[in-house]
Chain A
């Protein structure tokens, strides 16, 4: 069963902004990236799924339960983008209140609370009042809150916005840990590198619409490039399926080339072609495309197709 499923889910604010017509399904045990620049509708989408916003169209289900029902939120954790917790509570009291709301049996509460505090790296600091917490600490206690009830699906909305590089790595590790436990993590982010390092599947959103969906690896292959260093300084006969290439610098009798590929999987074929043409290859290095470029690629493609559709 799909953990999250939506059909044309739409939430606009008086017809403007928000997010429109989202159809997606997220399977179990993966990290799903919801990727897009600020204002593209990511938070709106998640808040609609959690019943905080009333959808203006379409439908959505979490673990098979229609969104907006209390049942749909039973196995869910959430770290909001604008996290603010009652600052008169201590970190531990906050978790206790949430444990109560999640109906975690009283006997298990304190042990579970200790566990999550450990997991988010707040051990020893949980008895302080939240009013004295730094933003980073609040975000960590928020993460603890999000995973407290051992949820099947965890929504993280820009979870590293207040964290330093070490904190970011911690969050990444936490997401991987959760996935390895069979949980589904739904990650909202505008930071491409954050998505890249952990996400299995992504949706790319732009101005309230999904422009691309799929496995991260496949979406990334759009702009595959490879750098090849060949012996000699003369021209090289590349296979006919290479549409364009650039000659780089020449050094010590070797030449550097940058080849534009249709598909990363063509690399062995190129090497085969070169070696049968008696060209010595010293170096082959696939170039990971610039993430921003990949992003723009999909945005532009969507725009083009919309343009064609409109004609």
Chain B
């Protein structure tokens, strides 16, 4: 299992796409940093004029929006990478017949699937966590005083943990699909579900704003079917919602949350991922390769 896991990690790293991803990520971070830098400077200059609640509200809103944008985009790239790398995990090896020489070794099918999953999950979670902290540090650091939000370390830990659930679920789900489908089909299914989860999340937010329970329910059902978007929203709440900040609601907006997923949703997502792993093992057990 560990050998397969190690090989999976090495394979990903050795691919050209890995290098491209790293470079593109750095470019993204550089752009984000630049944007934050200028926004922070402008904000500080504009903020000099007025003191008081209004200015403070304004600052909090803009700053959390900008952080929200950065994190949302990060979660989006992570999701895409998680889907792309996992939907071929098994099916790719089967169709190229490379799997034959691994599976003829004295390892079980479940060890193979677990190894693949662990390797991919490790990489994607590592990527998600680095991206998360890069964004936070850029935002809090380069954004300087004006940009900085009051986020406690413990809050950050909680938020990043929830942020990491997303690649975990997506990798588990992608691997599950790839035990049964061709790479292309699995990719299409995963992307569509991801899109549906995104729209479901949006409908839920919208429903909460206009106070329509049926819309909220649609969103909730969608996040049960594919608990991805709900994890992003839970993360933003953990990050922005400090108890001693009565204005936290005001920080909302497109990239943060109004209708809030409960803690139970977090456990649901973790179980969902774990179940996907169990099902992949089961699904691959007696399959012809």
Contacts and interface: CB of A to CB of B under 8 A. Distances in A.
Contacts of A71: 106
B7 interface: yes
A73 B105 CA distance: 6
B106 A102 contact: yes
B259 to A, nearest CB: 45
Scoring A53, A100, A101 by chain B CB atoms within 10 A of each residue's CB, the highest score goes to: A101
Nearest to B287: A54
B100 A80 contact: yes
A296 B104 CA distance: 34
A83 interface: yes
Contacts of A54: 286-288
Interface string B97-130: 1101111111110000000000000000000000
Nearest to A86: B98
B96 interface: yes
B289 interface: yes
Interface range for A = 20 to 34
A97 interface: yes
B289 A52 contact: yes
A80 B101 contact: yes
Nearest to A80: B100
Interface string A75-86: 010101011111
Contacts of B287: 54
Nearest to B289: A52
B216 to A, nearest CB: 46
A86 B106 contact: no
A26 interface: no
A50 B101 CA distance: 10
Interface in A231-285: none
Given A52-B288, A52-B289, A101-B3, A85 B104 contact: no
Contacts of B96: 84
A101 B107 contact: yes
B11 interface: yes
Interface in A35-79: 47, 50-54, 70-71, 73-74, 76, 78
A98 interface: yes
A193 interface: no
Interface string B65-99: 00000000000000000000000000000001110
A50 B104 contact: yes
Nearest to A100: B3
Scoring A52, A83, A85 by chain B CB atoms within 10 A of each residue's CB, the highest score goes to: A52
B106 A73 contact: yes
Interface in A124-172: 142, 145
A120 to B, nearest CB: 15
Interface string A88-125: 10000000011011110000000000000000000000
B11 A86 contact: yes
Nearest to A102: B105
Contacts of A73: 104-106
A101 to B, nearest CB: 4
B51 interface: no
A86 B98 CA distance: 7
B41 to A, nearest CB: 46
B116 to A, nearest CB: 13
Contacts of A76: 104
A50 B97 CA distance: 14
B245 interface: no
B286 A101 contact: no
Given A51-B103, A100-B3, 16 more contacts: A52-B100, A52-B103, A52-B104, A52-B288, A52-B289, A53-B288, A54-B286, A70-B106, A71-B106, A76-B104, A84-B96, A84-B98, A85-B98, A85-B101, A88-B15, A142-B101
21 contacts: A50-B104, A52-B288, A53-B289, A54-B288, A70-B108, A73-B104, A76-B104, A78-B100, A78-B104, A80-B97, A82-B100, A86-B11, A88-B11, A88-B14, A88-B15, A97-B3, A101-B102, A101-B106, A102-B105, A102-B106, A103-B106
Interface of B: 3, 7, 10-11, 14-15, 96-98, 100-108, 286-289
10 closest A-B pairs by beta carbon, nearest first, are: A101-B105, A88-B14, A70-B106, A100-B3, A74-B106, A50-B104, A82-B97, A78-B104, A73-B106, A80-B100
Interface of A: 47, 50-54, 70-71, 73-74, 76, 78, 80, 82-86, 88, 97-98, 100-103, 142, 145
